[in-house]
Amino acid sequence: MSTSPTARIYRPTPRNLAFLANVLARGGIVAAPTETVYGLAADARNAKACRDVFRAKGRPANDPLIVHVNSLDQAGEVAALNDAARSLAKAFWPGPLTLVLPKQPGVPAIVTSGLESVAVRMPAHTLFRELIERSGCPLAAPSANPFGYISPTTAAHVRDGLGQRIKYILDGGSAQIGVESTILDLRNPSKPAILRPGSISREAMEMVLERKVAAYTRKAPAHTAAPAPGMLERHYSPRTPLTLVDKLAPAFLHKLANNEAVLFVHQPRLSQQTPNVFWLANHGEELMAAAHNLFNQLRMLDSGGWTQIHAELAPGSSALALAINDRLSRAAAKRGPA
Ligand code: TXA
Ligand code: MG
């Protein structure tokens, strides 16, 4: 059963941007595009506005938010920057890299779930940056999806998930990257560690820092505080059961029931058309295309009436392969005991 959404989608006209920035400055919440996924934004200094973000998402309070900024100065108002953070900011900001650093006193506890650290990033999307600029607020923004579901990469995805719970969605088309930012723990700059894989690679950060960066592990490292949602086993999950296959061989298709779908990373070369075969990237396309399509394709499959989705893992160990496979593995994780 579908009810009519109360959220309105705003085109990115100067007038609408001014209006939505004003909503944010007055403590409202607005879904807006970033280059990774859409975020649900609120003034990061306003505890009540941030509480509304948690409520709209159904997100548990022990799951801290990322604060988005528009300048290095503003980052310094949110987090205590160290030299490593400055070097990485210079190399990768604006862009899909989130740094976890000691927090400044002005950040309300609700944003960081009571942690002494805060996650901060400068997004590359000009519309999101304009909202920060025009509102004058650092913007706390988790992905704009109901907690645990697939992250949104279009305004329509946001409306599908949160349309009954929020009023304002800024339309910036389809998010370019399609998977969330790389998160790097830099609380101790001599021991940087990846908390969530994204499109910025460990190797690229090691080059800038001139030191080893601990690779991402599914288990939270001992020095990390409360387990973060990025660390939740089950996340990004379609309702349809999803299983993973290392590499899908075309022969696999013969064993499929009619109501089961398969998701290849690259378009397979098949002798005949099969209606239950899907892929993330066309022949010859890079993994960038696969990352860009990942969440949209999972949503399409989830509403396609399939009883089971079999998805292939991305090949290799590039940053995007690790990010795609991390999201797929969480999407496939079994629901824990209720
Ligand atoms: O690309 C992105 O990062 C998107 C866009 C909207 O910027 N945002 C995003 O937010 O993915 P969210 O809330 O879905 O994921 C934020 C992650 C969570 O896994 C959270 O645990 C982690 O950031 N995080 C936030 N603060 C943290 C902290 N102080 N220490 C460790 N992890 C933290
Ligand atoms: Mg999220």
Q: Domain-by-domain residue ranges, the chain?
A: 8-209, 242-332
Are 169 and 9 contacting, i.e. CB atoms less than 8 angstroms apart? yes
107 CA from centroid of ligand 1 (Å): 15
Domain 8-209 has CATH 3.30.390.30: no
Please give the Cα distance from 202 to 96 (Å, whole number).
13
The ligand that comes nearest to the alpha carbon of residue 236 is: 2
The ligand that comes nearest to the alpha carbon of residue 103 is: 1
Please give the Cα distance from 176 to 193 (Å, whole number).
26
Q: Confidence band (pLDDT; 50, 70, 90) for 237?
A: confident
153 CA from centroid of ligand 2 (Å): 12
DSSP E strand boundaries for the chain:
8-10, 30-33, 38-43, 66-68, 97-102, 117-121, 139-140, 168-170, 182-185, 193-196, 242-245, 260-266, 277-281, 308-312
* Closest listed residue to residue 62, CA positions, set 111, 102, 105, 98: 111
Rg (Cα) of the chain, in Å, rounded? 20
Cβ count near 311 (within 10 Å)? 28
What pTM does this model have?
Answer: 0.94
Are 222 and 316 contacting, i.e. CB atoms less than 8 angstroms apart? no
66 CA from centroid of ligand 1 (Å): 5
33-86 confidence digits (pLDDT tens): 999 999 999 999 999 999 999 999 999 999 999 999 999 999 999 999 999 999
Write down the pLDDT at residue 338: 37
32-46 confidence digits (pLDDT tens): 999 999 999 999 999
